[in-house]
Amino acid sequence: MTPAEPPHDHHPHGPPGLSFGGRLRAYFLAGILITAPLAITFGAAWFVVDFFDRTVAEAIPLKYNPNTYLPFSIPGLGLMVVMVGLTLTGALTAGLVGRLIVRTSERVLDRMPVIRNVYSAVKQIFETVLAQKSTAFRQVVLIEYPRRGIWAIGFVSGTTEGEVQNLTEDQTVNVFLPTTPNPTSGFLLFVPRKDMVVLNMSVEEGIKMVVSGGIVTPPDRRPEHLRNQPVLGSDQP
């Protein structure tokens, strides 16, 4: 009787796991995952710096431009000039003379039919976004859109006021519903406060989720005992 052969320690078709080509592909994708965000970030930053260097730094008179006296160009000089200029402008307009100049300029713009509409709209947007106590885009909410049972992420941009609020029975909130993957476009919805759910994720996390199409999902920061208890459903009144 032939004795039984001892069991082999290796798999008949090779060791389990990725093949050599599969490992190379995994390493290649890992390299892209690491370098692509860095390259895009540095590329965007360099584009901004180069834009201001070409448009602002070259407009500086030669006798005041340090690049004239140095054997090399100072990267970011144009951006620094813009930042200093904006800071000085803000300091000047904070005084009595500066406010008088601003009011006079606004009166002149108010007499121009088309320009006054553009100026007032842009000014109101910047005042709302840059105000220190502004609540614009400070909350991420969940709303049912485009029909009941389907949920979408939106960003609260303020409390509804004026004619829109006066014509509605419920207290409504201005919600900006962005598109994917470009969150700069979207829809303005007036949602009753009782029909939206405020999420715990930050605005930055919500934007990342929208831009990535749901690939990047922030963690659930609610208490452990609440994570597995759904509170929303398609039959919610």
> What Å distances lie between residue 183 and 122, 155, 180, 207, 213, CA to CA?
19, 11, 6, 7, 11
Helix (H) / strand (E) element for 184: namely: none
| Whole-prediction pTM | 0.57
Looking at residue 21, its pLDDT comes to 83
10-69 pLDDT, tens digit per residue, is: 444 444 566 888 888 888 988 998 898 899 999 999 999 999 888 888 888 888 888 888
CA atoms of 227 and 220, how far apart (whole Å):
7
Stretch 109-128: mean pLDDT, rounded?
82
Which of 175, 180, 177, 174 has the alpha carbon at shortest distance from 208? 180
Side chain identity, residue 189: L
Q: Is residue 118 in some structural domain? A: no
Separation CA 139–CA 188 (nearest Å): 15
Could you tell me if residue 67 is inside a domain?
Answer: no
Q: Is residue 39 part of a domain?
A: no
In angstroms, the CA 191 to CA 157 distance is 11
- The domain tally of the chain equals 1
Residue 187 lies in a domain: yes
Look up the domain containing 147 and give its range: 140-221
Contact in structure between 172 and 193 (CB atoms under 8 Å): yes
Greatest CA separation for the chain: 111
Paired tokens of 48: 């901004």
